[in-house]
Amino acid sequence: MNENHRPNLQAAARESMIEHGFHPDFSAAAQKEVQSLDIQPQTQGARDLRALLWSSIDNDTSRDLDQIEFAQESENGAVRIQIAIADVDSYVPAGSAIDKHASEQTTTVYTGVHNFGMLPDELSTGSTSLLEGQDRLSIVYEFSVENGCCVGTSSIYRASVRNHAQLAYPSVGAWLQSGKNAPDKVAASEALQKQLSLQNRVAQWLRKERYRRGALNLETIETHPLMTNGEPVGIETQQRNLATGLIEDFMIAANEVVAKSLEQAGFSSIRRVVKTPKRWDRIVEVASMFGTKLPGAPDSKALHDFLCERQAADPDHFPDLSLAVVKLLGSGEYVLERVGETAEGHFGLAVQDYTHSTAPNRRYADLVTQRLLKAMLAKQRPPYSDNQLTAIAQQCTKQEDAARKVEREMRKRIAAVVMRSRIGQKFTAIVTGVNEHGSFVRTTHPHVEGMLVRGQKGVDVGDKISVTLLHTDPERGYIDFARS
């Protein structure tokens, strides 16, 4: 490939979408619905909670905001958590052309150079997004939490809300960790400082309880491109911090509340599970390489303890160990849980009752769950049969797997574009794979994966080596290294 040739990553993303079974464009009927959309959501019966100090924490560039949070401490020490989820269903009626597109795609695909929305941008980043300063209709999940205790009493209801502070993970996380350099909106409001600190405290309680039950402590590396004028110019590692953990813990608790509520109402639902791993024997082998003996039967608590030990002993290699465990656990899948039956729990999260309900702008399973909840609140019959829910679950699993492939292909292409100006430079790298196809490495700064095409003899997974960048192929996403 001519090094001066500039690949069209936007076109590559569209081609990858089509290749993996997606429709990157909305139908004429869906576009017509968007243009003629003039819906005034019914607020009758909804509580007016706009005065509460709601806030959101998401990525810096996110506009498709699905949830906002509020916490209030009671006299007995328990904390009441309220999580408001955007009422997307009011704008996307079941059976509409927009809904048909969403039901086929089932997920928003983030390619790094373009986001292919499950819903039109006019909705997901506009009318149905909980943007700062906008009045919105929502479904609120409310539950109480005590230190050292699981989620207590809970309720679900409709409410009008307003996001008073749209915040981002990096700055909020750094402030929660150090207590210094608060984001401008946080620094300007003592009430917001207290609110976020309280939310963080409750998140620690929730995480501690999940770990006690055996939730896995995993740390995989996620990256995203730094863009200038539509072109990738660098690769940034997305660091987990207290803010990302806060939202993750709140959403897991909220999804448990929803699952239990639907079950108590006699509604079948869609659950997302990572089933008990069939390759537990290999996980046992991996642990034995580090001198740890895991039980012969799958045991999430024992695996969690092993992972914590390895994180403390060797933080540099822990992301690679985490990735290996994630692959051996297998990917999640959506399944039907019928009334009176118990679906397999989510092994990785150590929760038995778990559904997806907190991102209806970006996941179709969550939009379907929202419709189930609204029928439950209205004391109506479920809007979907078990056969329909089964078909939806299967489509969601299929498309989620396809989305991962698209996103991975684009990460590799973007990395190849960014790295082509650094050919001949040396990098510190960790060997991440050795198999019949070759030896693979991941550089530490930036985090980029490639093949070791020279000097691979004698290297093994986990080795820390020095490599020289030889060649990149942005069209195919190839990056080749030689051992220095």
CA separation for the pair 203, 205 (Å, rounded): 5
**Is the distance from CB of 159 to CB of 41 less than 8 angstroms?**
no
Same domain, 169 and 42: yes
Same domain, 247 and 284: no
Domain count, the chain: 3
Same domain, 254 and 111: yes
- Provide φ and ψ at 10, rounded to 5°: -60, -45
Within a domain: 370: no
Q: What is the mean pLDDT of residues 191-216?
A: 88
Within a domain: 308: yes
Place of tokens 């620094």: 187
Within a domain: 55: yes
CA separation for the pair 205, 71 (Å, rounded): 14
Same domain, 84 and 213: yes
Q: What is the mean pLDDT of residues 395-399?
A: 96
pLDDT in tens, 127-145: 999 999 999 999 999 999 9
What band does 11 get if pLDDT is binned at 50, 70 and 90?
very high
Element (H, E) at 184: helix 184-187
Q: Is the pLDDT of residue 151 over 90?
A: no
Same domain, 165 and 120: yes
Residue 279 burial (C-beta neighbours within 10 Å; 0-12, 13-18, 19+): middle
Q: Is the pLDDT of residue 3 over 80?
A: no
Which residue, among 157, 135, 143, has the nearest Cα to 54 in the 3D structure? Answer: 135
What band does 350 get if pLDDT is binned at 50, 70 and 90?
very low
Q: What is the mean pLDDT of residues 243-258?
A: 92
Q: What is the mean pLDDT of residues 220-236?
A: 83
Within a domain: 42: yes
Task: Give the domain CATH number at 433.
Answer: 2.40.50.140
Same domain, 244 and 295: no
Q: Is the pLDDT of residue 371 over 90?
A: yes
Say what the pTM is. 0.88
pLDDT in tens, 259-315: 889 999 999 999 887 766 767 888 888 899 899 999 888 877 788 788 888 888 888
What residues are paired with 109 via a beta bridge? 116
pLDDT for the residue numbered 343: 58
Same domain, 258 and 285: no
Q: What is the mean pLDDT of residues 202-224?
A: 78
Element (H, E) at 261: helix 242-264
Within a domain: 364: no
Same domain, 240 and 306: no
Which residue, among 356, 352, 355, has the nearest Cα to 344 in the 3D structure? Answer: 352
Q: Is the pLDDT of residue 42 over 80?
A: no
**Is the distance from CB of 154 to CB of 257 less than 8 angstroms?**
yes
Which residue, among 267, 394, 272, 283, has the nearest Cα to 341 in the 3D structure? Answer: 267
pLDDT for the residue numbered 64: 94
- Provide φ and ψ at 431, rounded to 5°: -70, 120
CA separation for the pair 391, 395 (Å, rounded): 6
Same domain, 142 and 98: yes
Q: What are the start-end ranges of the E strands in 75-134? A: 79-86, 109-110, 115-116
Range of the domain at 461: 423-483
Within a domain: 124: yes
Same domain, 255 and 284: no
Decide which of 244, 266, 288 is a domain's last residue. 266
**Pairing status of strand 447-454 against strand 464-473:** unpaired
Within a domain: 405: no
Same domain, 216 and 285: no
Decide which of 307, 329, 351 is a domain's last residue. 329
Within a domain: 448: yes
Phi-psi region of 230 (alpha: psi -120 to 50; beta: other; left: phi over 0): left
pLDDT for the residue numbered 217: 67
pLDDT for the residue numbered 2: 45
Element (H, E) at 392: helix 386-419
Count of CB atoms within 10 A of residue 233's CB? 12
The rounded percent of the chain whose pLDDT value lies above 90 is 62
Same domain, 436 and 323: no
What band does 366 get if pLDDT is binned at 50, 70 and 90?
very high
The rounded percent of the chain whose pLDDT value lies above 70 is 92
Q: What is the mean pLDDT of residues 370-380?
A: 97
